[in-house]
Amino acid sequence: MLLVDDHEGMREGISAVVNAQPDMMVVGEAADGHEAIQRFRELQPDVSVVDWNLPIVRGEEVLGTLNNESPNARFVVITALNGDDCIRQALNLGAHALLHKDMLRRELLPAIRAVHDDQHYIPEAIAKRLKNGH
């Protein structure tokens, strides 16, 4: 898994949780969108966990670029933003899962596993918001 977030503490925490799983491993990290694109090209990870609000090259550009280059790429987008526009845009750009950062403790591992198996993973709270048009 490639992990992309501009906050070192967030990367450290997610890496610790993921690497503690017998069926997962973080193979690379990136702190901004430009680095994310480079690391993805080098590593060709099964799944990439990408923060939506990145410096230098934003999350939407990362997904757009990498989906054009690698149509089979699988992304879990994480965000601290609450806007529905962000959710819809991420899904339209090829995110297989979208999680608000306050959901990570309970939703991240199931999301990664689902996305690895080429499934979509949308937590119930986000699905309800999309269905209700919020």
Q: Give the tens place of pLDDT for each residue, 14-40.
A: 999 999 999 999 999 999 999 999 999
Instruction: Give CA–CA dist 78/98, Å, rounded.
Output: 6
- Mean pLDDT value across the chain: 92
| Residue 65 CB neighbour total at 10 angstroms | 18
How many domains, in total, are found in the chain?
1
CATH of the domain at 61: 3.40.50.2300
pLDDT tier at 127, thresholds 50, 70, 90: confident
Q: Nearest to residue 97, comparing CAs of 65, 50, 34, 32?
A: 50
- The H-or-E segment that residue 96 falls in is strand 95-100
Domain containing 14: what range? Answer: 2-131
- pLDDT score for 80: 86
The residue behind tokens 């879990």 is 76
Q: Which of residues 131 and 49 earns the better pLDDT score?
A: 49
At residue 133, the pLDDT reads 63
- pLDDT of 117 above 70: yes
Express each pLDDT in 59-112 by its tens digit. 999 999 999 999 899 999 998 877 667 788 898 898 999 999 999 999 999 999
Q: What share of the chain is helix, strand, coil (3-state, %, to 5)?
A: 50, 15, 35
